[in-house]
Amino acid sequence: MYLKTGKKSQCSGCTACMAKCPKNAIKMVVDEEGFRYPEIDQDKCIHCGACYQICPNVKKEEANTISRAYGAKHKNEQERLTSRSGRCFCSTV
C-alpha cells in the first residue's frame, strides 16, 4: 500500500512488490534511517497492478471487508443432538 499512499508505516519492506513486477519497474531504495522502500520507475511501469495484488498490507485491508455469512439448523432436534459436525452438510437418503 506504500506505493499508493507514500506512507512508510504501510510498508514492511518485504520486497514482494519488486519480485512480482513483470517489468522490473520497482527497486528498493534505502532511506536516511537505513530502511528499504519500493520506488517505481514510471517509464517502465505498465500499471498492471501486480504490486498491489501481492502486497501483504493490501491483503490486510481486504481482510477487513464485510463478508456475507449464512446460518442453518437441521429441523430434526434429535439429528442436531447426535451430529458431530458443527458445519452444514447434505446427505443423501
The C-alpha atoms of residue 27 and residue 23 are separated, in whole angstroms, by 11
- Tens digit of pLDDT for each residue in 22-63? 999 999 999 888 999 999 999 999 999 999 889 888 766 555
Contact 3, 40 (CB under 8 A): yes
Residue type, 26: I
**Taking the domains of the chain in order of start, what are their residue ranges?**
2-64
* 93 — pLDDT class (breaks 50, 70, 90): very low
Contact 38, 11 (CB under 8 A): yes
Using a pLDDT cut of 90, give the percent of the chain over it: 37
Residue type, 87: R
Number of Cβ within 10 Å of residue 78's Cβ equals: 8
* CATH code, 2-64: 3.30.70.20
Cell digits of residue 38: 519500493
The pLDDT of residue 48:
94
DSSP 75: S
Higher model confidence: residue 88 or residue 27? 27
